[in-house]
Structure 1
Amino acid sequence: MSRIAYVNGQYVRHGDAAVHVEDRGYQFADGVYEVCEVWQGKIVDMPRHLDRLSRSLGELQIDWPMSRNAVEFVLRQVVRRNLVKNGLVYIQVTRGVAKRDHFFPSDDVAPSIVVTAKSTSPAAAEAQAEKGISVVSYPENRWPRVDIKTVALLPNVLAKQHAKENGGKEAWYIDTEGNVTEGGSTNAWIVTKDGALVTRPAENGILRGITRAVVLDLVKREDLTFEERPFSLQEAFEAKEAFVTAASTLVMPVTRVDGRIVGNGHPGSVALRLRELFHTATDLQTA
């Protein structure tokens, strides 16, 4: 757990960290967030994450709470103050505190910002990757603008809880055409029997994942066969491999989908290789 949090200009004990009851993030889920991996004391792909944060803020017409350079400074400080060598740093920006009204507040209402960080276990993550995870399908239940990384995550919570109750670590959303869109908190991939990597285009129905982008860079660098297109749940059942990507999981092999064994039931060589190479393709900035 985070020891120190940054809340609207102050570094405070995590147990004392709080936002106002009328913060629009609490009242309306009127805010956005980003999560960066921290690896060996370095913040992974911070520029890409902040670029996406900027886009999300722009789509919701929320101002930056401070300059981008100041945000970078705070991210580094929170990682340092929490003594995080390997883990995650989280940033959330909302439209701010104002009386409860669906309309945007006046321009003098300042956005709210919260930053936290926590340590995770690389050994536990590697043990999970060596075993692989199970995913469970779930009907798409979200608003169309999933390209914006908002804090409105109740649909994702319901999907992931459904997966947990059915023996899965992750949910895969299925659209009305029977295709996989993405995971509850990850992007979804398969490797076909012919060895082609497949993932859905990020222009429609999924978040443009930063980890996904790094894997695409690796796919090009390693000259792997790649198809950016929708794939069906049936294709996933018949795939040679499957995996998910996110800052919190990196490249995580999937060995079961809806209880059915994928491939030979063990993490695939392509997924494990991409996981091994992952940090060789990332932007690493010292915290």
Structure 2
Amino acid sequence: EQHQQRLAASLAAARIDGVRQVECLWRNLDELLSTWPEGRDCSLYVQVTRGVAPRDHAFPRPAVLPTVLALLMPLEVNTPAPSAAITREDIRWSRCDIKSTSLLANCLLRQEAVDAGVAETLLVRDGYLTEGSVTSVFVVLDGRPITPPLSTDVLPGVTRDLVIELMANSATPVIETPVSEARLRLASEIWVTSTTRDIVPIVELDGLPVGDGKPGPVWREALTRYAAFRTAASTGSAATAPPPTSA
């Protein structure tokens, strides 16, 4: 549902009137999923464009029907492993809150991580952490998990929001507040989240250890709660978070 809401918000921001077409897709989603082999995990990719029209930077007039593409792809479920990251200046545009295919800057920044042999590139804009090239970012400072607040510089990550919700009744609820680059480098823990990566601990940043160089206790708490939610969701049982633990 959160993915659907984010798609609707991005369509509205891009001024694409694709509500009816997307609603039709959701209504027929079971038919699409029935084509996938039973017992195998998959991910659903949905892309909506303004439609087919002569090339122009302006919107077509009269409006054309939006094009909706839906793909099912194999999904490998991996246990999050300790990983490394690098930092780079955030060179993306000023509407990163819109989920779109205009991702050249993200691709260039993600490739820098690949070239460096690490898992992710963490982005810094005007001296403050925004997010990763393909992930949301959490840091732990003074025992408390922190993530940058939503803004036009940050994509509203679905897994990000879920982690915040699952940690709400823990001894270490997530705080949404700006994180300076200086404080990022003082963090005892760093994690990155996404729909396909879950919650990955970053134990090395720019070649230096994060904290003691091992996944930390707050990450383990978040992962335990996330795993419990995933299990409950897959079995259809009530998804309840574990009881609060001591900090």
Normalized against structure 1, the TM-score is what? 0.75
Compared CA separation, residues 285 and 226, structure 1 to 2 (3 A): closer
Aligned to 2:44: 89
Residue identity opposite 1:199 in structure 2: T
Q: Provide the C-alpha distance between the structure 1 equivalents of 2:215 and 2:28, rounded to a whole number of angstroms.
A: 38
Q: Provide the C-alpha distance between the structure 1 equivalents of 2:26 and 2:226, rounded to a whole number of angstroms.
A: 23
Structure with larger RCO (C-alpha < 8 A, sep 6+): 1
Aligned to 2:128: 179
Which structure 2 residues correspond to residues 155-194 of structure 1 after superposition, within 5 A? Answer: 155-176=105-126, 178-192=127-141, 194=142
Q: Which has the higher strand share?
A: 1
Q: Provide the C-alpha distance between the structure 2 equivalents of 1:76 and 1:245, rounded to a whole number of angstroms.
A: 27
Question: Does 2:205 match 1:264?
Answer: no
Aligned to 1:17: none
Aligned to 2:239: none
> Any idea what the Cα deviations from partners look like across 1:121-180, whole Å, max 9, x if unmatched?
22xx20xx2x3111111111111111110110100000000111112111111112x221
In structure 1, the residue corresponding to 2:100 is in which secondary structure? Answer: coil
Q: Percent identity?
A: 30
2:92 to 128, 133, 142: 142
Conserved 8 A contact 1:251-1:272: no
Aligned to 2:244: none
Conserved 8 A contact 2:22-2:68: no
Which structure 2 residues correspond to residues 238-249 of structure 1 after superposition, within 5 A? Answer: 238-249=186-197
Q: CA deviation at 1:108?
A: 4.2
Question: Does 2:203 match 1:255?
Answer: yes
Conserved 8 A contact 2:147-2:179: yes
Q: Provide the C-alpha distance between the structure 2 equivalents of 1:279 and 1:69, rounded to a whole number of angstroms.
A: 30
Aligned to 1:202: 150
Q: Provide the C-alpha distance between the structure 1 equivalents of 2:30 and 2:197, rounded to a whole number of angstroms.
A: 21
Aligned to 1:104: 59
Q: CA deviation at 1:274?
A: 1.4
Conserved 8 A contact 1:75-1:89: no
Q: CA deviation at 1:181?
A: 0.6
Q: Provide the C-alpha distance between the structure 1 equivalents of 2:84 and 2:33, rounded to a whole number of angstroms.
A: 31
Compared CA separation, residues 55 and 241, structure 1 to 2 (3 A): same
In structure 2, the residue corresponding to 1:243 is in which secondary structure? Answer: strand
Q: Provide the C-alpha distance between the structure 2 equivalents of 1:102 and 1:62, rounded to a whole number of angstroms.
A: 14
Q: CA deviation at 1:60?
A: 0.9
Q: Provide the C-alpha distance between the structure 1 equivalents of 2:21 and 2:228, rounded to a whole number of angstroms.
A: 29
Conserved 8 A contact 2:164-2:173: no
Q: CA deviation at 1:231?
A: 1.3
Q: CA deviation at 1:208?
A: 1.0
Aligned to 1:52: 6
Conserved 8 A contact 1:189-1:198: yes
Aligned to 1:229: 177
In structure 1, the residue corresponding to 2:34 is in which secondary structure? Answer: helix
**Structure 1 residue ranges, 4+ long, deviating more than 4 angstroms after superposition:** 279-286
Residue identity opposite 1:162 in structure 2: E
Aligned to 1:133: 83
Structure 2, unaligned runs of 5 or more: 236-247
